[in-house]
Structure 1
């Protein structure tokens, strides 16, 4: 375990926002900590045979790895309450319907679909992707008309517009070529 592992929580991703996009690929049972990993990721691909859920209450404990903190931000509160208080499994169709996962695919396609999403993201300017992720998470609880929300967006845009990538993107578009992102 690295020196900052405890600060970042289980798996190194539970307690700190990671700049890079995180994509969960779920095959089989991802109960308790597995679901908490999914909730800590930005995107998720789930097998049609997999199962999510927070069964901790059935064992006299709570989902203390972030599940209770994140679930109601992903799905309606009443659905999150039912899942957390009953400990019932969440089948793939429900996970997709409620937005817990982005895709449900056959088991043999889970990893490929997750990698396809990763590649689609990786084609974009890395600093712009990271800034977009940060603004989305930071503004998630703010009304879109709030000054604080607009400050987040404006500050991020100001920083991004000064990057080499912000110049490369429009240049590549005008020259009808793929951009060469520098990450600076």
Structure 2
């Protein structure tokens, strides 16, 4: 797969390209239970920034993100309070947004370990598989579905979801997204191609996003 620029390298992750338009980022710290040090956070930030600016890349698959997939052996927790600190890097606010005050309070104020089944019931896990191999295949199946869609529509859809999640006000979130993207997406080549493909009953031939 070719990109307009090379992805940033790091000892904390490995990159592979299992599908056209899909980048698989794997945390590479098995001896540390895949925990990430401060430098690793900055390295991942550089990777996400590169990804956002890489118009050829439609989807990045990694542990954590917009959708959550895990194996049956996975475990989740916020253990900070057991060690005299708290989840200061945004974990508390994000957890509360995802699962609500009561569930977030139970997770954060007990520090107990959460199973994948509980995670799915509490809506921060989408899918559960038995093995690492089946997990990768499951996430790649999602990637295949997503990568068939308009790159413009995907960018705006993701932005709209994040805007609503972060803003907390439906009218403000909708207004912000429409003001930023409506003119661009409605006047773009991919909308015209999508409508033409629908009329002609064929698969769309998307072009690179110009958003």
TM range (shorter): 0.7 to 0.9
Match of 1:86 among 101, 106, 110: 110
Residue of structure 2 in register with 1:150 after alignment: 174
Counterpart check, 1:164 vs 2:189: yes
What is the alpha-carbon distance in structure 2 between the residues aligned to residue 127 and residue 109 of structure 1? 30
What SS class does the counterpart of residue 43 from structure 1 fall into? coil
CA RMSD of aligned residues (A): 2.7
What is the alpha-carbon distance in structure 2 between the residues aligned to residue 92 and residue 142 of structure 1? 27
Match of 1:130 among 150, 155, 162: 155
Q: Can you list the C-alpha shifts for 1:27-70, whole angstroms capped at 9, x where unaligned?
A: xxxxxxxxxxx3xx111111112111111211222223321121
Residue of structure 1 in register with 2:101 after alignment: 77
What SS class does the counterpart of residue 64 from structure 1 fall into? coil
What is the alpha-carbon distance in structure 2 between the residues aligned to residue 23 and residue 84 of structure 1? 27
Counterpart check, 1:117 vs 2:142: yes
Match of 1:64 among 64, 88, 93: 88
The 1:100–1:127 alpha-carbon spacing in structure 2 relative to 1, beyond 3 Å, is: same
What is the alpha-carbon distance in structure 2 between the residues aligned to residue 47 and residue 78 of structure 1? 26
What SS class does the counterpart of residue 104 from structure 1 fall into? strand
Match of 2:199 among 149, 174, 180: 174
Gaps of 5+ in 2: 1-7, 10-37, 53-57
Q: Can you list the C-alpha shifts for 1:63-121, whole angstroms capped at 9, x where unaligned?
A: 23321121011102111111111111110011001111111121241111111111111
The 1:65–1:86 alpha-carbon spacing in structure 2 relative to 1, beyond 3 Å, is: same
Residue of structure 2 in register with 1:12 after alignment: 45
TM-score (norm 1): 0.77
What is the alpha-carbon distance in structure 1 between the residues aligned to residue 161 and residue 182 of structure 2? 13
Give the total of aligned pairs.
164
TM-score (norm 2): 0.68
